[in-house]
Amino acid sequence: MRVIRTKAIRSILAALIGLCSIVCGDPNQSLAADEPRPPIAIQFSLDRPIEAGAAPFILASARGLFSSEGLAVAINLASGSPDAIARVAAGSSDFALVDFNELIRFRDKASAPPIKAVFVLFNKSPYAIVARKSRGIHALSDIEGKTLGVAEGDLSIRLWPGLARQNGIKAASVKQNRISAAVREPILSAGQVDAVAGFSYLSAVNLRDRGVPADDLAVFQYADYGCEAYGFAIIVNPAFAARKPEAVKGFLRAVIAGTQLAIREPERAADEVVSRMDGGSRDLELERLRTVISDNILTGEVKHNGIGGIDTARFERSIDQIAEDFKFQKRPTAADIFDDTFLPPLNGRLID
């Protein structure tokens, strides 16, 4: 009897110990759970060499904004928006900053993977015609009969037909001189063309740096003449977004914080940008940053609706304008191109 009773007691004690381990947990496992998790490694592509427009990302990296979100972000450079999109499609980059309108055209391909933008940094596109007043161009309509320098691969010229029609300009009367992007500003400063198509915060600032007097430059920003296009946007690899949605949200929070810093401290932002450039000019990048903030990032729409999102009605109008020079196989909806589910709520997107 004593043996049976002893076995029974041992069985009860073993059961109690097992139950306790389930309820209380393994103290060693608890300690492991408290250890800091390694950061999530992220590859992020810019579609061009670093300049002031990349300030939000440079600041997010330099000031620890990415790391505070548990992210280790490596910034690499692509050779244009098509290349940056291809990297995200292939999965060699998790995120990229690209021209929103190039993404729209890319997604129209039947074989295109379902890459979407998740954040719009440039609420207005930087597309512009930059002309010399000394060549007789004081208004956009004066471009008729003139010679326009257009760089190979330039995206601004793709929306020129719609802009010209909208403003009553005979686009056929404007001679397009195809050039290399490397000589876009030099040939205008040398008077070999009357105007160039490009980005306002790049070409106009570069020309002033080359000695062209500011009062001789006429900068016609597409956005001021009815162009509804958005500018640069962040895209994400869809498989990455599905696996790590919180990492996507954290990346966007860090970018918003970096943008806030660039707006509040442009001088320090310019210093950080130039430190990542090869032979960059602090004065030039500071001027460029102030231009891009006022013209493209901190717009009236952003002040009212917060940064990062899109307006569906405006998107539809921009598609109409793209269609002036691009035949869609299937007209896209906003939901085809943009995913707002990773954005912070409005109070997390308002710019101070």
For residue 148, what are the β-bridge partners? 176, 195
The single-letter code of the amino acid at 267 is E
37: confidence class by pLDDT, cuts 50, 70, 90? confident
34: confidence class by pLDDT, cuts 50, 70, 90? low
Collapsed DSSP state (helix, strand, coil) of residue 148 = strand
Q: Tell me what percent of the residues of the chain surpass a pLDDT of 90.
A: 81
Q: Which helix (H) or strand (E) holds 176?
A: strand 175-179
pTM: 0.88
The Cα–Cα gap between 113 and 106 comes to: 9
Per-residue pLDDT tens for 107-155? 999 999 999 999 999 999 999 999 999 999 999 999 999 999 999 888 8
The Cα–Cα gap between 315 and 337 comes to: 10
User: Is pLDDT above 60 for 5?
Assistant: no
Per-residue pLDDT tens for 283-312? 999 999 999 999 999 999 999 999 999 999
The Cα–Cα gap between 321 and 313 comes to: 13
Q: Tell me what percent of the residues of the chain surpass a pLDDT of 70.
A: 90
Strand order of the sheet with strand 195-199?
175-179, 147-151, 195-199, 127-132, 217-221
C-alpha dihedral sign at 237, 333, 123, 108 = positive
C-alpha dihedral sign at 317, 222, 255, 80 = positive
